[in-house]
Every structure is written in structure tokens, then in C-alpha cells.
Amino acid sequence: MKKPVIAIDGYSSTGKSSISKVIADKLGLIHLDTGALYRGVTWFALQTCKDENGTIDLNQLFSSLEKIQLEFKNDEGELVLYLNHKDISKEIRTNEVSDNVSLVAKQKEVRDFLLQSQRNLAEKGGIIMDGRDIGTVVLPNADFKFFLTASIDERTKRRYNELLSLGIEADEQQVKENLIERDKIDSEREIAPLKQADDAIVIDNTHMTKRETIESILSYIHKI
């Protein structure tokens, strides 16, 4: 029996990636954090495609996309992102990347570049993919679609604590403003905006623990 294809979309800091990892482990699926791919392209752009003002030169990035090789490698059960054979799993979580990823992710050239690779990974089934447009654009025929949401204050707290746990200095108000701005950019972009698929199951986990959110998602999957 073919293993399912599961799409989990939602806002930043709703726990999409960490929750998807646990579900993948429980169901024997591969987990793909698509947000990490966009962060990888953003990190590449910040290293190699800046203009004289220190901001990302998008045209330079577009012409450099063929130089980008992104791959996940299994490191003791953890999928680690490599860019051109370099482990960038910590670099992509910095504030600088967070401040620029929505700009990069809304570009059609970047989305087209990453779209087919994401679909290819899902062809054989047995995958759980999280992001912002998985159920609507990347995997519209996924077996299960979930959309995670939570209040801005709760998401701010989670993101702030995540940064501290990574040893990254952060200001809580700045984190909140960054999340609000990312929500706006992600929801209003012309190409593949963040939105709930019509057939997605919505889970508001503002007052739910990570474990409770996981159990809720699994309850829907096990019903089939």
C-alpha cells in the first residue's frame, strides 16, 4: 500500500516543521521542510547577490539560480540542509535570513526553481511536506491537507524562544514585527500566496501544546 502524501501549511511559528518531523517519524514518512529551501536560497543571495546598498539584487539572484544545489542529508535521523555541499542548517535561522526570506520567496523565478524539485520528491508518496502553499500549489492532490494557525502573541513567544535556544540574540518586539510583516507579504504576494486550501483541515493551536497538535493531526489520519 502506498504511503500517504501529507501537506501542512500555515503561518510562521505555528510549529509546522517540528510537528511534521514528529508525524513523519511516527508514520515512517520522509519530512521535507520547504521553508528551509527558501531560506537556503535567501542565505545564498545574502552571501553572493548584494548590491552596493547591501540589499539583495534580485536580478543577480535570478541569473545565479543554476549555481544553487540544495539537498537534504540524513544526519542520525535528522534531515540537514546543504547548499553546494555545505551544511547551512544554522545559518538559515538567523535574523538576517528571516528579514529577507519573504521577499525572496515571493519571486516567481525562485518559486518555479524550487517547485518541480518539491513535486519530484513527493511522487513516490510517503512524504510530509510543510510550507505556505503546499496544499494549494505544490501538492494540490495530497492525501491529507492541514492548515495551522495561532495568535500573533503566541507565535511571537515561540519564535523568540526558538531563537534564544539557538544562541541567537533577539528582541521580542522586533520578532513580533517581523512575523506581522512576513504574514502580510506571504498572504498578499501575487504568486502562490499563503492561504488555506478549500479542503484543508484547520487547526488553531494557540492554546494547544505541540503534543496535542500532533495528536489532533494523527486522529484525522487514523480515521481513514
Q: Consult the annotation and say whether 102 binds a ligand.
A: no
pLDDT higher than 60, residue 224: no
SS3 213: helix
Q: Which pLDDT belongs to residue 117?
A: 76
Is the pLDDT at 59 greater than 70, yes or no?
Answer: yes
10 is in an annotated binding site: yes
How deeply is 166 buried, as exposed, middle or buried, from its count of CB atoms within 10 A (0-12, 13-18, 19+)?
Answer: exposed
Give the residue from 45, 70, 75 showing the smallest Cα distance to 58. Answer: 45
Cβ atoms < 10 Å from Cβ of 112:
11
Query: Is 18 assigned to a binding site?
Result: yes
How high is the pLDDT of residue 75? 75
Residue type (1 letter), 67: K
Tell me how many domains the chain contains.
1
Could you tell me the CATH number of the domain that includes residue 144?
Answer: 3.40.50.300
CA-to-CA separations, 109 to 3, 38, 41, 58, 121, in angstroms, rounded: 31, 12, 11, 10, 20
Cβ-Cβ contacts under 8 Å for 185 (sequence gap 6 or more): 102, 103, 106
Which grid coordinates belong to 129? 511536506
Check residue 28 and give left, alpha or beta (phi > 0: left; psi -120 to 50: alpha). Answer: left
Over the stretch 4-51, which tens digit does the pLDDT of each residue have?
999 999 999 999 989 999 999 999 998 888 888 999 999 999 999 999
Q: What is the mean pLDDT of residues 71-86?
A: 82
184 annotated among ligand-binding-site residues: no
Gap between the Cα atoms of 181 and 175, Å rounded: 10
Strands 127-131 and 30-33: parallel
Give the pLDDT confidence score for residue 37 in this predicted structure.
92
pLDDT band at 1 (very low <50, low <70, confident <90, very high): low
User: Tens digits of per-residue pLDDT, 95-133?
Assistant: 899 999 989 998 999 999 999 878 877 887 889 999 888
Decide which of 12 and 224 is more confident. 12
Give the pLDDT score at 31: 87
Q: Which residue has the cell 552571501?
A: 47
Domain that holds residue 95: 5-222
- Is 12 annotated to bind ligand? yes
Higher-confidence residue of 192 and 215: namely 215
For 209, the grid coordinates are 501544546
**pLDDT tens-digit series, residues 131-186:** 888 999 999 999 999 999 999 999 999 999 999 998 988 999 999 999 999 899 88
**98 marked ligand binding residue:** no
Q: Look up the pTM and report it.
A: 0.77
The predicted pLDDT at position 77 comes to: 61
Cβ contacts of residue 188 below 8 Å, gap of 6+?
none
What's the confidence (pLDDT) of residue 128? 94
Which ranges of 4-94 does DSSP label H, i.e. alpha helix? 16-27, 34-48, 58-64
